[in-house]
Structure 1
Amino acid sequence: MSDTPCRVAVCWLLPELEQPARDLAARLQLPVATADSIEAELLLRLGGDGLSLQATGADAPGAVRVDFVEGALAHRRQFGGGAGQMVAKAVGLRGAVRPTVLDATAGLGRDAFVLASLGCEVTLIERQPIIAALLEDGLQRAREAGGEVAEIAERMTLIQGDAITFMAQWAAAAPQVIHLDPMFPHREKSALVKKEMRLFRPLAGDDLDAPALLAAAWALASHRVAVKRPRKAPSIDGPPPSAQLSGQSSRYDIYGKKKLG
């Protein structure tokens, strides 16, 4: 992954959020954007509804933020199919079996939230600091919301850093399942229309070290590794998967070590 080659700055949308925004900018080592100062390709905006990332170009997509309380994830939590969802099947949920999961490519935390909502304890690793900041903000707001969403968020633990390094140095009990969703290399003909992709690819780049990520996950996981891929993409270089689950646009390559439950 690249080290933020595009220009990113932090701004605030309410006067009372100026100091928290400046603190965030200092922590992420990013400049502060004000009306009469820096121009940036991406703005990390702190507002009353939390932290969001917004491109500034003329044809820029809308802002992206992590929201576990309302919107698409709330709908998925209530009506998304429960343990019948592909990600749940891929990590081995069935009956009362709820494995401990390490999501080593957390992104915006959607898959991790689904697994936590189904009862799994999930550790998330995200190596891009700006994406991790969005995720941290979303988790904090979920905890503050109370009720069921707060209980789900309490089952999610976020680590910001390089997953390969963390997995190699892992000192706690090994996760039973490791979930990987590496950024797939961009092809001009592929329909990457989601606004998250348009915003995050300049930040995160492609996961060109996916084979090393898989190797580290295989070495650490006690039971299985589940790798999310575009449906027609090749498997990651390395040993062949022991099973596959396919959906309409994506699939899971499953690398089994021993049976869960």
Structure 2
Amino acid sequence: MPPIVVTHVGPHLAPQAQALADELALPCLDAPPPGCPYALTLTDTRLELRSLGKGAPGPIYVDFVEGANAHRRKFGGGRGQLLPKAAGLKGDYFPDVVDATAGLGRDAFVLASLGCRVRMLERSPIAYALLRDGLARARADADTAEIADRLSLYRTEATSWLDGLPEAERPDVIVVDPMFPDRGKAALAKKEMQAFQLLIGDDLDAPTLLLGALATAKRRVIVKRPRLAEIIDGPKPATQIMGQSTRFDVYVIHAPC
């Protein structure tokens, strides 16, 4: 992982920043040293992952209250969105969901906003810290508190977590959104997300996670992929739900006879 330090915007935040640095086993400094490419910075309002240097993009943070998540919550199309369709939401059916690769929590928040309980799994300590911060702020806001209460967060490696899950806690649906290396100009993400991917790392064990999800989910496994990407190595999906730039590969679990 590239060099990264924990910083803060004022001395009143130094104790919290030091506690976070201790948790993540990272250096805690009042300001990033020259040449350091990234800083996990505690501000008065949120935790930010900042790219540093000339021409650096804006910060990455988790915000379920405002911005894109708020717009999607209010105007995103409800159950008509691709993910709710892939998860099978209809009528009074609200599946219990595990998001096995939570990332920045956007898909989990969509499902929670529509009534699903979602357990978010994230193995990257940096992504987990950003998610935890965003979830805490969502729980403190009147507009999102009820939705946030349907979200729970675990810092864990998904395959082993699923393997150890008791029968009574198996979810109806498991969502997998693996992060793969960019291939060519068409696959290049925004600069902000390129930095996030570099720090978080690629999910090269996605085929193993898919098999674990198929062995655990009661009804469906959903794999989110770029529209033109190949399917993950392993069983073929039962169907695909296509968007303009994204698709959802849907694996239907058949109950044993």
Q: Same fold, TM exceeding 0.5?
A: yes
Deviation at 1:16, TM superposition (A): 0.8
1:70 to 66, 69, 76: 66
Tell whether 2:232 aligns with 1:222.
Answer: no
**Which residue does the alignment assign to 2:186?**
190
Whether the 8 Å contact between 1:32 and 1:38 is mirrored in structure 2 is: no
1:251 to 236, 247, 250: 247
**Cα deviations across residues 101-160 of structure 1 (Å, max 9, x unaligned)?**
000000000000000000000000011000110000000011111x23011000000001
**1:135 alignment partner AA:** L
**Cα deviations across residues 167-204 of structure 1 (Å, max 9, x unaligned)?**
11112510000001001221132342323422212112
Whether the 8 Å contact between 1:186 and 1:206 is mirrored in structure 2 is: no
Q: Distance in 2 between matches of 1:194 and 1:73?
A: 17
The 1:39–1:26 alpha-carbon spacing in structure 2 relative to 1, beyond 3 Å, is: farther
Q: Distance in 1 between matches of 2:123 and 2:63?
A: 20
Whether the 8 Å contact between 2:35 and 2:53 is mirrored in structure 1 is: no
State percent identity of aligned pairs. 52
- The alignment's C-alpha RMSD in Å is 1.5
After TM superposition, the score normalised by the length of structure 2 is 0.95
- SS class of match (1:74): helix
Whether the 8 Å contact between 1:33 and 1:39 is mirrored in structure 2 is: no
**Which residue does the alignment assign to 2:94?**
98
Tell whether 2:200 aligns with 1:204.
Answer: yes
1:26 to 7, 22, 25: 22
The 1:117–1:216 alpha-carbon spacing in structure 2 relative to 1, beyond 3 Å, is: same
**Which residue does the alignment assign to 2:80?**
84
Q: Distance in 1 between matches of 2:59 and 2:148?
A: 23
Q: Distance in 2 between matches of 1:37 and 1:57?
A: 11
**Which residue does the alignment assign to 1:133?**
129
The 1:66–1:12 alpha-carbon spacing in structure 2 relative to 1, beyond 3 Å, is: same
Tell whether 2:163 aligns with 1:162.
Answer: no
**1:156 alignment partner AA:** L
Q: Distance in 2 between matches of 1:36 and 1:242?
A: 49
1:180 to 176, 181, 199: 176
After TM superposition, the score normalised by the length of structure 1 is 0.93
**1:69 alignment partner AA:** V
Unaligned 5+ runs, structure 2: none
The 1:103–1:35 alpha-carbon spacing in structure 2 relative to 1, beyond 3 Å, is: closer
The 1:60–1:88 alpha-carbon spacing in structure 2 relative to 1, beyond 3 Å, is: same
- The list of structure 1 runs, each at least 4 consecutive aligned residues, that deviate by more than 4 angstroms after superposition, is 36-39
**1:48 alignment partner AA:** D
